[in-house]
């Protein structure tokens, strides 16, 4: 399948695993990175999802080198965890600007081409925390919950044009983001996960390549957990 995919934040962590899975499946793959490079076989473009001009420039480069983006995976994300009482407005707005507004910017830029092609796959990387909530994560949870409304509105607006929009909600995945948690906190989280373990980034990537495939053409507006059962009951 030689469609063109863009993965934001494809230089490390889950985004890098997603980009690798698409390369292995035969797609043309571009990744955005603020630093470093995407995996072998990808086109790396510099972009910051908080800056529309840099996103536009990245798309222009991808369109010239790989053709219009048909599949977009909005994966770039940050945390600024702290208790509500101590959370500054800057902590809140920085996280929302990257995780939610950043996804909006990236997806909106792709939508024109998708409408023209009458085909598109929008995949937003949320988190179990989006619907579960997280103490010390009001900013992050709000930004990740917002992605559900974004995907569902895109589904209603563009669903009749061959475009699907879905949310993938990972639980705890072994990346720099979770490595940064103290060991005691990691053990406490692990004890709450029915699967009894964190997942590898590749386990998230496999769900995402499936969502991008023709087999998932009738799946839209869904929130797909990849969390070992942690968030059951959402």
Among residues 35 and 191, whose Cβ is nearest to ligand NDP?
35
What is the distance between the alpha carbons of residues 224 and 83, in angstroms, rounded to a whole number? Answer: 28
Establish whether 140 is a catalytic residue: yes
Burial (CB < 10 A; 0-12, 13-18, 19+), residue 70, is: buried
Write down the least CB distance from residue 163 to ligand NDP, Å. 21
Among residues 76 and 110, whose Cβ is nearest to ligand NDP?
76
Contacts 24+ apart (CB under 8 A), 137-140: 137/79, 137/81, 138/84, 138/87, 138/92, 139/80, 139/87, 139/91, 139/92, 139/94, 139/95, 139/96, 140/79, 140/80, 140/81, 140/95, 140/99
Among residues 113 and 171, whose Cβ is nearest to ligand NDP?
171
Write down the least CB distance from residue 21 to ligand NDP, Å. 14
Q: Which of 22, 39, 44, 48 binds ligand NDP (CB under 6 A)?
A: 48
Q: Which stretch binds ligand NDP (CB under 6 A): 69-77, 146-154, 155-163, 212-220?
A: 69-77
**Binding stretches for ligand NDP (CB under 6 A):** 8-9, 11-15, 32-35, 48-50, 75-78, 98, 125, 127, 170, 172-173, 175-178
Query: Catalytic residues, which ones?
Result: 140
């Amino acid at each position: 399948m030689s469609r063109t995919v863009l993965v934001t934040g494809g230089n490390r962590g889950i985004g890098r695993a997603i980009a690798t899975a698409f390369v292995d499946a035969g797609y043309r793959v571009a990744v955005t990175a603020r630093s470093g490079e995407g995996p072998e076989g990808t086109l790396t473009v510099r972009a910051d999802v908080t800056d529309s001009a840099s996103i536009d420039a990245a798309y222009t480069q991808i369109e010239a080198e790989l053709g219009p983006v048909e599949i977009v995976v909005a994966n770039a994300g940050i945390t600024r965890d702290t208790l509500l009482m101590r959370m500054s407005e800057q902590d809140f707005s920085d996280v929302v600007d990257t995780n939610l507004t950043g996804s909006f910017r990236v997806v909106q830029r792709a939508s024109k081409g998708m409408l023209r092609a009458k085909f598109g796959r929008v995949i937003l990387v949320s988190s179990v925390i989006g619907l579960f909530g997280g103490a010390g994560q009001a900013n992050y949870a709000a930004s990740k919950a917002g992605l559900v409304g974004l995907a569902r509105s895109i589904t209603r607006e563009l669903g009749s044009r061959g475009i699907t929009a879905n949310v993938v909600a990972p639980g705890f995945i072994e990346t720099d983001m979770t490595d940064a948690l103290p060991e005691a906190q990691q053990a406490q989280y692990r004890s709450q996960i029915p699967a009894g373990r964190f997942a590898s980034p590749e386990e998230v990537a496999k769900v995402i390549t499936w969502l991008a495939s023709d087999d998932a053409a009738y799946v839209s507006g869904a929130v797909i957990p990849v969390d070992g059962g942690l968030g059951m009951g959402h």
